[in-house]
């Protein structure tokens, strides 16, 4: 099966060729071939404005956009459709990151629409265009329930809830950094790939082929730093923390916590102390598991998000039912 049904020719970051001169409420819609530096800046700016004030709010940068939309293992660019107004300014975008080997679904990002273009049908058109261009089953990134109309947008389009995740947050501390038992970091382990693969299989539920590629995917993330991958060798547990900064703010995302019940609180407390030591503004976590260990570590529940599966996918039983490759925080 071909992975792309139909992709219209792109004309660069500021001049995407419209799909048969499609215009929606005065906005030109078309596909682009790649991620130029200027386009990544535009996409990041619009994404940041779209999430501001909701539970999925976090720092977004051009480097983060490039690393999250590009396939980590193959380097293939996303299937990306954009909309521009009469002046050429970016009014909306929607993208699909191509699936990696072993992933049952590709990841949908967006649609993201500028405030002046909302309630014009532009978001629906962007979604329709990018979905029609690919043949993979799709799963959304985190769709926050506190954003008016966001979940209804997907349910109205026939998408079904695949997972529900809890978003937790902790602002910068006012007092001294808490003490914690020192853990090993990725910099101190010789066979890091083997350690991560074993943890991915044991705690993350990943198949062997997917587990072996886990570290490669993490390293391709613009936020990855070896010193922020915390390990507990006595239990084989780990916590992946991703630091992100932009011009306005910063955060530490607790992206993956794989471990025994006894190790998880230690890992979380160590990560919170790591954020304090690096003077990051906030700590965020997104989990499908019981949030109690995060709350015990001093974090508060901020909200809830759904992840939606595309309507053309069969009900559970299609592909992987546990879907471990999509189990982490979808909207970093």
Supply the pLDDT for residue 313: 65
43 within some domain: no
64 within some domain: no
Phi and psi of 21, rounded to 5°?
A: 55, 40
319 within some domain: no
CATH number at residue 246: 3.40.630.30
Q: Pick the closest to residue 155 from 177, 182, 127 (CA basis).
A: 127
Strand bridging mode 79-84 / 90-97:
antiparallel
110 within some domain: no
Supply the pLDDT for residue 208: 80
pTM of this structure: 0.83
Domain range for 200 is 168-305
pLDDT digits (tens, 9 = 90+) for 121-134: 999 999 999 999 99
Q: Pick the closest to residue 202 from 232, 178, 167 (CA basis).
A: 232
Hey, is 245 helix, strand or coil?
strand
125 within some domain: no
Supply the pLDDT for residue 220: 87
185 within some domain: yes
Q: Which residues of the chain have pLDDT under 70?
A: 1-22, 174-182, 313-332
State how many domains the chain has.
1
pLDDT digits (tens, 9 = 90+) for 249-286: 999 999 999 999 999 999 999 999 999 999 999 999 99
Chain centroid to Cα 228, Å, comes to 18
203 within some domain: yes
321 within some domain: no
């Amino acid at each position: 099966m071909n992975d792309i049904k139909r992709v219209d020719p792109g004309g660069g970051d500021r001049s995407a060729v419209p799909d048969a001169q499609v215009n929606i409420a005065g906005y030109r819609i078309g596909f682009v071939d790649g991620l130029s530096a200027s386009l990544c800046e535009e996409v990041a700016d619009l994404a940041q404005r779209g999430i501001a004030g909701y539970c999925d709010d976090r720092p977004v940068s051009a480097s983060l956009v490039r690393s999250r939309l590009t396939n980590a293992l193959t380097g293939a660019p996303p299937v990306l459709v954009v909309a521009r107004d009469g002046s050429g300014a970016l009014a909306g975008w929607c993208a699909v990151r191509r699936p990696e080997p072993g992933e049952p679904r590709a990841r949908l990002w967006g649609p993201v629409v500028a405030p002046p273009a909302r309630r014009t049908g532009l978001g629906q058109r962007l979604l329709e265009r990018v979905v029609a261009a690919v043949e993979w089953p799709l799963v959304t990134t985190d769709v926050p329930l506190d954003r008016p109309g966001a979940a209804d947008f997907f349910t109205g389009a026939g998408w079904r809830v695949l997972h529900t995740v809890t978003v937790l947050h902790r602002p910068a501390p006012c007092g001294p950094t808490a003490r914690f038992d020192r853990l090993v970091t990725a910099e101190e382990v010789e066979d890091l790939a083997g350690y991560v693969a074993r943890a991915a299989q044991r705690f993350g539920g990943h198949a062997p082929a997917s587990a072996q590629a886990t570290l490669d995917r993490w390293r391709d993330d613009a936020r990855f730093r070896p010193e922020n991958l915390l390990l507990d060798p006595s239990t084989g547990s780990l916590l992946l923390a991703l630091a992100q900064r932009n011009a306005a703010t910063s955060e530490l995302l607790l992206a993956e916590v794989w471990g025994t019940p006894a190790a998880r609180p230690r890992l979380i407390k160590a990560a919170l102390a790591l954020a304090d030591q690096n003077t990051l503004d906030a700590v965020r976590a997104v989990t499908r598991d019981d949030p109690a260990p995060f709350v015990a570590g001093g974090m508060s529940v901020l909200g809830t998000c759904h992840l939606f599966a595309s309507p053309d996918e069969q009900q559970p039983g299609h592909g992987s039912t546990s879907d471990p490759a999509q189990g982490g925080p979808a909207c970093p």
